[in-house]
Amino acid sequence: MSLESLKRRLAAIPVEVRQAVAPIIEAEASRMVATARRFAPDGDGDLDASIRKEDGAHQMQTLVRAGGSSTTRPVRDGASATYDYSHANEWGTADMPANPFFYPAWRLTKKKASAAIRRAMRKAIRGGKR
Residues 71-129 pLDDT 10s = 988 888 777 889 888 998 999 989 999 999 999 999 999 999 999 999 999 998 887 55
Measure the N-to-C terminal CA separation of the chain; round to a whole number of Å. 34
Residue percentage of the chain with pLDDT more than 70 = 98
Give the predicted TM-score (pTM) of the model.
Answer: 0.80
What is residue 129's predicted lDDT score, i.e. its pLDDT? 58
DSSP-derived secondary structure for 52-82: EEEE-SSTT-EEEE--SGGGEEESSTT-S-E
9 falls within a domain: no
Q: Residue 32 domain-assigned?
A: yes
pLDDT for 76: 80
Domain assignment present for residue 10? The answer is no
Look at 3 and 66; give whichever has higher pLDDT: 66
Domain ranges, residue 50 = 25-125
Q: Give yes or no for residue 10 having a pLDDT over 80.
A: no
Q: What is the total count of domains within the chain? A: 1
Residue 110 lies in a domain: yes
Which pLDDT score is estimated for 130? Answer: 54
Residue 65 belongs to a domain: yes
Q: Is residue 34 part of a domain?
A: yes
Per-residue model confidence as pLDDT tens digits over 86-95? 998 999 989 9
Outline where the chain has alpha helix (H).
Answer: 3-12, 15-39, 46-50, 85-91, 102-125
Higher pLDDT pick, 10 / 70: 70
Say if CB 58 and CB 13 are below 8 A apart: no
Residue 19 in any domain: the answer is: no
Residue 105 resides in a domain: yes
